[in-house]
Structure 1
Amino acid sequence: MLKKLSFVRLLVICSVWWTIPNPVLAQALLPHTLQLDTAKLEKQGLSLAQEAASLAQFQQYELALPRARLAVQLAPNNDRVWFLLGSIHMQTKDFTNALSALQRAQTLNPKNHQVQFALGSLHFQQEKYQTALTYYQAGLRLQPNDANGLFDLGNTYYMLNRYQDAIAQYRKSIAQNAKFWPAINNIGLVLYEQGDIQGAIKKWQESIAIDKRAAEPMLALAVANYIKGDRQQSIVMGEQALKIDARYGDLDFLKQNLWGQKLLGHAKQFLSLPRIQAALEAGNRQ
C-alpha cells in the first residue's frame, strides 16, 4: 500500500486596491506611488494557500493550482506555501514543476522533514528508488519516529529488493503505531516474495484484525489461501474484498500497491475465476 500529503484549511482571498486622486485645475499632476505592505501581502498569500489546500483535499486540483501559484508570489519566502504547490503538482503528475517547488521549499527551510519526505515520494513515484532512499533517510534524521516516513523508507528498500531492511523499517513504523496495518500488510508482501506464504498469511490476518474493512490484506489472504488449496472460503473472502474496494481487482492497481511478481501471478489466476469475475462486474455496475 502506498501513501499521502497533508494540507491546511479555508480562508478568503483579499485584494489590494488603490485610487489616484483627481488633479486640481492649474496644478501640476504629481506621480502616485503605490506603497506595498509586504506583511499584508504575505498574509493574503497564506490565506490563499489555505484555500488551495482545502480544494486539494477534495481533489479539485484545477481550482487549487492557480491559487497555490499566486500564493507563492505573495509569500515567496514561506516554505510551507512552496511545499503545498509542490504537493499539488505531484498529485497532477507534473513532476518537473513539483521538483522545482519542493526544492525551493527545501532551500527556504532545510529542516522541514515533510519536504524531505515529499521529495522522497516524488522520486519514488518516478521509480528513482535510490534517490528516494536518500530523501527519506534525510527526513528521518530530522523526525526519527515518523511512522509514515519509516513506512515509506521500508517501501523503498522493498523496491530495491533489500527485503530484510524493508521489514526492519516496517517494524519500526509499527513500533510507533501498533494499529498501522499497512506496514503489517507490507511485511506480508515481502514474506510472500521470499516464499514464506504462511508467514505472509499471518501478517494479513493481523491487518484484518485491526481493520475488518481493509480490502488489500483481505484479497491477499484470499489469494494465498486459494493457492494453498482452501478454494471455497477463499472465493467468499475475495468476493467480500472486492465488494469493499473493486480497484483491487485490477492487476495494475495491485502492482502500484507493491504486490510482487509471485503474488501478482497468483492473483491473476484468482481474479480470472468466474465467481470473482462476476463480483468485479457487479462492483463496476455500482
Structure 2
Amino acid sequence: MAKYIGYVSILVACSLWSIPSSAHAQAFIPHRVQIDNAKLEKQGLSLAGEAAQLARFEQIEPALLRAELAVKLAPQNDKVWWLLGSLYLQNKEFDQAITTLNKAQTLNPKNAEVLFSLGSAKFQKKDYQGSINHYQAGLKLKPNYSGGLFDLGNAYYMLNKFPEAIAQFNLAVKQDQKFWPAINNIGLIKHQQGDISGAIKQWQTAVNIDKKAAEPLLALAIATYNKGEIQQGLKMGVSALRIDSRYADLDFLKENLWGERLLLEAKKFLGLPEIKSALQQQREAPTP
C-alpha cells in the first residue's frame, strides 16, 4: 500500500478544501465595503460650498451643519476646517473656533487666512497678545493684506500701544487708500489722547471716502456739536443714525472700540431731545 499513500494524501487535502467541515462554515460573510475617498472628499467640498453660500446670507446654523459634515467627508482639507472654524467664530463659539482652526493650521501651517481667523478668535476672548502673535504670523505670509494690518492695529490699540496701532492703521491705508475703518480708528486714538482737532481731521477724511459710513459720521457729529456748532452737529448725527441706527447703542459703540472719553460724549449726545426724536421717528417709520 505504500505506493498509494501520496495519492491518498492528495485526495484528502483536496477534500478538506472542497467540503465544509461543519455548518458553521456556511455562515454569512459580509462583503467588504469599498470606500471611494476621492468621491467622499468631493461631496465634502460641495457641502462646504453650500455652507459658505448660506453664511453669506447669515444663515449660520444650517451653514454649520453642512460644514461639520464636510470636515468628516474631507478631513484632510485645511480649507474646510478653516471654513468651519470661521463659522464657529461668527457664531461666537470662540473656544470651538480655536480648536477647529488649530486643526486647520496643523494641516497647513502656510494658510494665512487660518492665522488671521485665529487672531480674531483670540481677540474676541480678550487675549490681545495672543491675537497679535497670530496676526503677525499671518502677515509674514501675506504682508500686504490691509485687513490683517487693521486687525493687528486694533489689538495694539486694546493694549494701549497707540503708536504701534497707528503705525499698523497707516500701513493698512497705504495698501488701500479707501480703507476708511483704519482712518476712523486713528481718529478714535487721537480723541482718546485728547487731540480733538486731529481726530476730527481723520473722521472727516473717512466720511469723504464713504458718505454712507455711519461710524465716522457720528463721531464727527459729536465732536462738531461739542465745538459749539450745534445745528451742524445735530444734522450730521441724525444722518448717521438714519444710515445705521445700531450706533445709537452704547454697547455697540464699545464693541467698535470707542474709548471711554468718546463714549461719555456719545451718551450725552444720544440723549439730546433732537436725537431721541429722530430715533423715535425712525422706529415708527414703516418698513420699506
Q: Tell me, yes or no, whether TM beats 0.5.
A: yes
Q: Distance in 1 between matches of 2:284 and 2:141?
A: 47
More helix by share: 2
Q: Distance in 1 between matches of 2:283 and 2:127?
A: 34
Task: State the partner residue of 1:5.
Answer: none
Q: Distance in 1 between matches of 2:39 and 2:135?
A: 35
Task: State the partner residue of 1:213.
Answer: 212
Q: Distance in 2 between matches of 1:164 and 1:156?
A: 12
Query: How far 1:129 moved relative to its partner?
Result: 0.7
Which moves more between the two structures, 81-90 or 92-101? 92-101
1:104 maps onto 2:103 in alignment: yes
The aligned runs of 1:1-286 (5 Å cut-off) are 30-286=29-285
Query: How far 1:100 moved relative to its partner?
Result: 1.0
Query: How far 1:266 moved relative to its partner?
Result: 0.7
Q: Which amino acid aligns with 1:175?
A: K
Query: How far 1:79 moved relative to its partner?
Result: 0.4
Q: Which amino acid aligns with 1:88?
A: L
Q: Distance in 1 between matches of 2:131 and 2:273?
A: 40
Q: Distance in 2 between matches of 1:267 and 1:106?
A: 41
Q: Distance in 2 between matches of 1:127 and 1:279?
A: 35
Q: Distance in 2 between matches of 1:194 and 1:57?
A: 38
Task: State the partner residue of 2:18.
Answer: none
Q: Distance in 2 between matches of 1:65 and 1:108?
A: 20
Q: Which amino acid aligns with 2:280?
A: E
Query: How far 1:30 moved relative to its partner?
Result: 4.9
Q: Which amino acid aligns with 1:105?
A: A
Query: How far 1:128 moved relative to its partner?
Result: 1.1
Q: Which amino acid aligns with 2:41?
A: E
Give the greater-gyration-radius structure (CA).
2
Query: How far 1:283 moved relative to its partner?
Result: 2.5
Alignment length, in residue pairs? 260
Unaligned runs of 5+ in 1: 1-26
Q: What CA deviation, in whole Å up to 9, does each residue of 1:207-263 have, x standing for no partner?
A: 111111111000000001111111111001100100110000110000000100111
Q: Distance in 1 between matches of 2:207 and 2:126?
A: 29
Q: Which amino acid aligns with 1:51?
A: E
* SS at structure 1 position matched to 2:241: helix
Q: Distance in 1 between matches of 2:85 and 2:243?
A: 32
Q: Distance in 1 between matches of 2:224 and 2:73?
A: 57
Q: Distance in 2 between matches of 1:37 and 1:282?
A: 61
Percentage identity across paired residues of the two chains: 60
Query: How far 1:28 moved relative to its partner?
Result: 7.6
Q: What CA deviation, in whole Å up to 9, does each residue of 1:258-279 have, x standing for no partner?
A: 1001111111111100010111
Runs of 4+ with deviation above 2 angstroms: 27-31, 282-286
Q: Which amino acid aligns with 2:101?
A: L
Q: Which amino acid aligns with 1:46?
A: L
Q: What CA deviation, in whole Å up to 9, does each residue of 1:115-153 have, x standing for no partner?
A: 000000001111111111111111111111100000000
Q: What CA deviation, in whole Å up to 9, does each residue of 1:36-66 have, x standing for no partner?
A: 0111111110001000111111111111111
Q: Which amino acid aligns with 1:152?
A: D
Query: How far 1:95 moved relative to its partner?
Result: 1.3
* SS at structure 2 position matched to 1:67: helix
Q: What CA deviation, in whole Å up to 9, does each residue of 1:151-187 have, x standing for no partner?
A: 0000011110001111000000000000011111111
CA contact (8 A) 1:83 1:101 kept: yes
Q: Which amino acid aligns with 1:71?
A: A
Query: How far 1:282 moved relative to its partner?
Result: 2.2
* SS at structure 1 position matched to 2:79: helix
* SS at structure 1 position matched to 2:119: helix
* SS at structure 1 position matched to 2:184: helix
CA contact (8 A) 1:246 1:284 kept: no
Unaligned runs of 5+ in 2: 1-25
Q: Distance in 2 between matches of 1:28 and 1:115?
A: 52
Q: TM-score if structure 2 supplies the norm length?
A: 0.88
